[in-house]
Structure formats: C-alpha cells, structure tokens
Structure 1
C-alpha cells in the first residue's frame, strides 16, 4: 500500500525490489493514481488482439504504408501529410508519456531503443496503442540519461524513417514528440516536484544535448501569454491536424490562426 509522506503519496519503486526486476508490474506501480492513463502502454508480451510490428520495420515503406493506409480510412481524401502527422501524435504519446512517468517517478530504466520494441496498433484503425518490450526493467540511477537514450535510440531513428517514407518534415515530427514530452514532464513536476524533472526539461530547453549534438527539440515549445496574463505553451511547427475532418484544432497551442479553431 502506498505510504503518505508530507502530504504526498509515496508509491513503491522498482528500487524497492532489486531482486525481482524481472517480475516488476509496471501497471501496478502506476496504480489508480494520477498517472493511471499509463497503464497498458508498455507490455511484456503481445496482446491477444491488434496489429503488432517491429518498430525497426517502420523504416520499410511497405510496412509503414500499410499501417497508414488503414489509419487513413478515417479521413478519406485528406492530406496524407496531415494523416501521417496525426498518426505520429498517437505514436509519440505512447513513446514519451508512460516511459517518462516510469523513469522520473518510479526510477525505472527501460530498453526502448527502436530495435528493442514492437508496436501494437489498433486492428481496425491502425492507431498506435502500446509497445511490447523485449528486455526487463532495471533501476535507473539517472532518469534524464535514460530519456536522452530514448531520444537517440528511438525518437531520432523513427523520425528519420517516417520523414523519408511520408515526405513529412522532420521538424514537424520532432515538434509532435516535444509537445507530449513537455506536457508529461510538467505534469510530473506539478504532481511531485519540479526538481524531479529538471534534467528531462533540459533535453527540451537547451540548444545541445548532453552528447554535444544539436537538440532538434530546442525551441519547439514556446511559452506565450494571453491578454488576461495566463501563460500557455505554443508549438513552433503546426501538426496539420486542422486539415482533417472531424478533428478539432489545437487552440492557442497552434502557431497558425487556422489551427486554433
């Protein structure tokens, strides 16, 4: 049972069970708390239903086009770039939200490189729903380093592959990833403590990554201010979702006036 300390709930961590890493229940660590939406996103085995493909195979145009063709049935005749961008919003939400919670809250290291995961898509719509892991979780001494590894080992190669297959600008895809990563890190800071995610936010806010390479997410999320004084996050690059029928715009988060409706 979770213990209450200084008014906050302290949930069990993988570090509390060093001998049983192989048996750790990621969904159990999340529980019914504020991050319950992370359950079912990182799986130890394939689910009984859905489409399962190796993430590395998304670099194969035939594999990628087959999934996008299924997803595009929701938006017949629409701009393919907008369809692909919308699909990647689902993808990056799964890739960044649950892993960040486990890295920074539960201090878990996960092997999330592109060649270590399989993607689970909805069998009817083709929407990304979860990842199947091939390696067991371990304790994380440096969550920010784990997040950096995720960016280099998965986000970067999958963006390169999708950009090449779909003709979508890499900066649009990086902005899609940055939007969800920024949101979840700030949510963790709100639920726990800002200091907990300082290293993770640096991977968004600094011009260079710890490895010395240019940060492709730098400046992708900008803080703006409404006339009433409230601050809000705004993307640098539009995700194009406003071009899809039945899909609402991003409101003030969109850099384009047409996308705010």
Structure 2
C-alpha cells in the first residue's frame, strides 16, 4: 500500500522537474494516452502552422468579434445569431476549462491563462475555436482552486462581458455555458482520480459567493434533477439555444426547455 500512496507524489516530483528543465514543456506528454487524452493539443506554447490565431484581448473588440462570428455563421445560414454566438462560445469555453482543469488538478500545473496571456487558435475558414497559445511558461501550482478562480476573473469574466454586449446575449447564458463544461470535467476528475483533488474547484460552482465576496455568477447554473424512476442527472438553468441551429442535436435532459431536449 505504501508504494501506491507514494505514486502521486512521485508523479508530481517528475512533473516539477520537467517544468524547470531547459527547453520546451511537453504538456501533452503529461496527459499521455490515459483517460484525459482528449486534452492533448488544446494548450500550445507556440503558434501552429495551420489555423487562424487571434489574440484573446482582440475578441473584446466588436469589429473583430463580429468578423469571427460572421465566418462561423456560414455553418448555419439564416439561423438566429444569438444561437450561433452561444454555440461558438461552447467551443471556446470547453477548450478554456477542460484541458486547464486537468493540468491544474491532476498534474499540479499552473498555466498563464489571463486574457492578455492567450491567443485563440481557430479554424481558418469557420473560426471555430480549436486551441489556445499561451504566452508564458507553465509552472507548478500548490493551489489549483485559486488558479481556476484566477482564470474566472482574469479571462472568463471580461470575455463574457464583451461577448454579451457584442452578441446580444444574457451574461447568465454564457456563464451557464462555462459552468456546464467546468462541472463536467471536475466531476470526471473526481470519478477518474479522487474527489478530494477537485473539492476546491467544485466550490467555485457550488458556493453563492466568490472568494472576493462578489456574487458567484455560476452558482445554481447546474442543478441536480431527478427522473421519474429516481435516477439523478445534471440540468442547466439557462438554455444554450443550440437547438435552434440546423444539424445540431439538442442537449437531452440537460436542457431546461422541452424544445431543446430533442
């Protein structure tokens, strides 16, 4: 049993040594081919040779954002622009929360994720979000929950304010898009590893106030509902509107609206 107990600390020591070693950091190597392999290729230290790269701060400029959404809207001609914007943010927030959460809580890696430290990599034609390029070197972290909170206030909060204004969407819808992915990946880590690892992160969803005392915009956005048979499932508080887009499936029981469950 002692050997198993020592396994996590040995892994953390290995990761810490690799982070301080000269040369590029291989974040994908830390993920490997294990249960979180879908995080590979989502956080980059250099810009890729393909795709379009846009500084995340530039997305707060209405003209830049409108041009991005105009390209993305080509996938859904004639559709509700609000649904198109929401769908685009689902990709953006999934990349911004899922892979970073795995690195923070599983691998103990802190990442430069402030809005002015990242550029978005998106599809050349459709501008669908694919990855982020980081301006800065990853380092070890002793407090992943605080790192996740800093991601909320230094990146997600300002980008939501800008997208809500430029995309004519309620901020609560966008925060629900964030909460949906964040809740899923933290619970997935708890299931694959152990709940103790992510308790601090889950509190950012479950507590009514943020650590700075302000109202938590994600509080209550993911609710536990129950089927007639008694089986519990997670349900959004605010619909993401994706059911308005042709060829896009609904969210099933996760959607609070009957029309969005198909």
**Shorter-chain TM-score range:** over 0.9
The answer to whether the 8 A contact 1:12-1:29 is kept is no
Please name the residue that 2:86 is paired with: 85
Equivalents in 1 of 2:89, 2:230: separation in Å? Answer: 32
Kindly report which structure 2 residues correspond to 1:167-182, keeping only aligned pairs within 5 A, or say none.
167-182=168-183
Offset of residue 121 of structure 1? 0.6
Runs ≥4 in structure 1, deviation > 6 angstroms?
Answer: 8-11
Equivalents in 2 of 1:70, 1:89: separation in Å? Answer: 16
Offset of residue 212 of structure 1? 1.1
Deviations 1:21-68 (A, max 9, x none): 763210000000000000000000111111101000001111111111
Query: Are positions 1:142 and 2:143 aligned together?
Result: yes
Query: Are positions 1:5 and 2:10 aligned together?
Result: no
SS of the residue 2:121 aligns to:
strand
Q: Which structure shows the bigger proportion of residues in helix conformation?
A: 2
Offset of residue 213 of structure 1? 1.1
Residue 197 to residue 255, structure 1, CA distance change in 2 (3 Å): same
Kindly report which structure 2 residues correspond to 1:220-259, keeping only aligned pairs within 5 A, or say none.
220-259=221-260
SS of the residue 1:91 aligns to:
helix
Please name the residue that 2:68 is paired with: 67
TM-score, normalised to structure 2's length?
Answer: 0.94
Residue 22 to residue 197, structure 1, CA distance change in 2 (3 Å): farther
TM-score, normalised to structure 1's length?
Answer: 0.95
Gaps of 5+ in 2: none
The answer to whether the 8 A contact 2:19-2:25 is kept is no
The answer to whether the 8 A contact 2:243-2:259 is kept is yes
Cα RMSD (Å) of the superposition? 1.6
Residue 123 to residue 251, structure 1, CA distance change in 2 (3 Å): same
Gaps of 5+ in 1: none
SS of the residue 1:23 aligns to:
coil
SS of the residue 2:127 aligns to:
coil
The answer to whether the 8 A contact 1:22-1:137 is kept is no
Equivalents in 2 of 1:44, 1:18: separation in Å? Answer: 13
Equivalents in 2 of 1:257, 1:5: separation in Å? Answer: 47
Kindly report which structure 2 residues correspond to 1:1-261, keeping only aligned pairs within 5 A, or say none.
5=4, 12-13=11-12, 14-17=15-18, 19-20=20-21, 23-261=24-262
Equivalents in 1 of 2:49, 2:4: separation in Å? Answer: 40
